[in-house]
Every structure is written in structure tokens, then in C-alpha cells.
Amino acid sequence: MNRTPIPLLVFHWIFAIFMLAPLTMVVLVSFTDKGYISMPFDGASLRWYLAILDEPDFIAAFWRSVGLAAAAATLATILAVPAGMAIAWNRFAGREAMLGLLLSPLMVPHIVLGIALLRFLTQMGGASTMWGLTAAHTVIVLPYVLRLVVAAATGFDRSVAQAAQSLGASAWTVFRRIELPLIIPGVAGGWMIAFINSFDELTMSVFVASASTETLPVKMYHHIANTIDPLLASVSSVLILLTLILMLVLDRFYGLDRVLGGK
């Protein structure tokens, strides 16, 4: 194939700048030494990073989000792995409907899930509890794990499992020794993408989380509603750095397009 024409490359770099500009700005602003949003070129400092340490609310919200994301991703994985294997390897009545139901949180806007779960959890006595929030996050991240498990299981040679079975292995042994190890890359990728999605989720959590169960994005949203200060920029920069590390791991092992597209 001939080389990519220059106008297309120019377009590509403008596009890349557009994608990076807001994130770069956040990182730059976080290094200012002023008390308001400004560029660090006439005075840089780390004062807004040190300021995070004086904000126990932000730190508590961060660890709450980490714990919530880990719990939701793990629960979603426990539910999605058996379901994904059943769906990938069997043709049974109602299979399509079940797959549709398991993927349904991707189709329903988070704002709608947010109010639905707020109403439901209020009636169940689970509003503003951690278990309510964990259940809510588990259902919204389950589709991400399921897609990757189904994709991993579909591209898997069933004759290996049949060979083990014919040699006398029990169903549990076949699962533990043959099937699980072969789909584990899909499971791990699914867990990570579920973790990230739960950690970042705002729209639904803004309804389901209360002051005592505030996640980091909800805390940041309420802070922005009052004032936009460099503290937000430094907190955001820490998040960008952490996400970048996870992103490079995901891209290295799976390719971002595969993980995000669920192919």
C-alpha cells in the first residue's frame, strides 16, 4: 500500500491534539502555585498535591471507590464466568434472551438506572448503604466481564475439554484444570475493565451514593458544582496517572480496541 497522504496525517494530528488537550490542561493546571486555576509557567509548585493530604474526605472517597470497584468487579466476575461459559458453549432454549438480559445494563442509560435503583433501594432499606451501592455497581459492570468471557470462551478448542472428560476427569476437574486456565486472560481483562468502569462511574452513583458512601467521582462532582479549584486538577492528575498505568497494562496484554470493543 502507498503511504498515507499528508492531509490525512495532518487531520490525524489535529485529532490527537483535540483528544489530549483537556487532559494536558488538567495536568498543567495542577502544578500552579496560585490559589486559582492558572498555568504553571509563571510559578510552579507541588502545593496542590500536598493539599490533597489535608483533604481526608477526598482520601476516604478514593479508598471507598477502590474497595467498591474491587468488590463490584469481583462479584461481577463470579457471576459472569459461569454464565459466559454456558452461553458460549451451549445452544439452549432462551439463550439469546438470557444474553440480552445479562447485557441489558449497557442499553439502559445510567441516569435511568440511577433513579430506578434509588427508588428500589429506598424501598428495600438499602439506600445510602454500601451493599446497595455494591449491588448497583455489580450489575452495571457485569456486561463488560461477560463480553470478554464469551469472546475468550468462543475462540477455544472444545476438543481439549472433551479429551479430558473421556479420560475420566470429572466436570469440576475439567473446569479447574482445562477450561478456566484457557479463558483466564479474558477473565482478567474483564475484571480490569469492570474495575475501571466501576471506579469512574458517576451518573448512577450520584443517585445511589449518600454523603456517607460518597465515591470519588461523586465527591469531585459535588466539589465542581461549588468551585473549580486547582485541588480538583491535582486529584484528577493522580487519577490520570493511575489510569495511564492500567491502560498500558491492558493495551500490552489485550489491545485497547479488543478490551473496549468486547471483540
Partner 1 sequence: MTNVRNLLPYWLTAPGILVMLAFVALPLVLTLSLSMYPFLPGGGVGDGLTLANYADIAWDDYFHAIFARTFGMAFLVTAICIVIGVPEAYVLSRLSSRWRAVSMVIVLGPLLISVVVRTLGWAVLLGNEGVINKILLSIGVVSEPIKMMYTFTGVVVALVHVLVPFMVLAVWTSLQKLDRATEQAAASLGASLPTVLRRIVFPQVIPGVLSGGLIVFALAASAFATPAIIGGRRLKVVPTTIYDEFLGNLNWPLGAALAVVLVIIVLAVSLGMNRLIERQYKQVFS
Q: Which stretch binds partner 1 (CB under 8 A): 19-27, 50-58, 157-165, 182-190?
A: 19-27
Residue of the chain from 41, 42, 109, 157 that contacts partner 1 (CB under 8 A)? 109
- The count of other CB atoms within 10 Å of the CB of residue 196 is 20
DSSP class of 44: B
Q: How far is the CB of 54 from partner 1 (least distance, A)?
A: 20
Residue 16 to residues 4, 32, 79, 93, 249: CA-CA distances in angstroms? 16, 25, 38, 47, 21
Q: How far is CA 25 from CA 32, 49, 237, in A?
A: 11, 16, 10
Q: How many CB atoms lie within 10 A of CB 210?
A: 13
Is residue 158 classed as helix, strand or coil in its secondary structure? helix
> Which residue's CB is nearer to partner 1, number 184 or number 244?
244
Q: Output 50 or 108, the one with its CB closest to partner 1.
A: 108
Q: Are 158 and 113 in contact (CB under 8 A)?
A: no
Question: Least separation, in Å, of the C-beta of 160 and partner 1?
Answer: 18
Question: Looking at 61, 71, 73, 102, which residue binds partner 1 (CB under 8 A)?
Answer: 102
Q: Which of residues 203-242 bind partner 1 (CB under 8 A)?
A: 203, 206-207, 217, 220-221, 224-225, 228, 232-233, 236, 239-240
Nearer Cβ to partner 1 (47/110): 110
Q: Which range, of 49-57, 90-98, 155-163, 180-188, touches partner 1 by CB under 8 A?
A: 90-98
C-beta of residue 32 within 8 angstroms of C-beta of residue 39: yes
Q: How far is CA 230 from CA 17, 40, 53, 233, 248, in A?
A: 22, 11, 14, 5, 27
Helix (H) or strand (E) holding 105: none
Stretch of residues binding partner 1 (CB under 8 A), selected from 46-54, 108-116, 153-161, 178-186: 108-116
**45-74 binders of partner 1 (CB under 8 A):** none
Which residues ranging from 135 to 154 are in contact with partner 1 (CB under 8 A)? Answer: 135-136, 138-139, 142, 146
Q: Does residue 96 touch partner 1 according to CB under 8 A?
A: no
Q: Please list every residue from 162 through 201 that binds partner 1, using CB under 8 A.
A: 196, 199-200
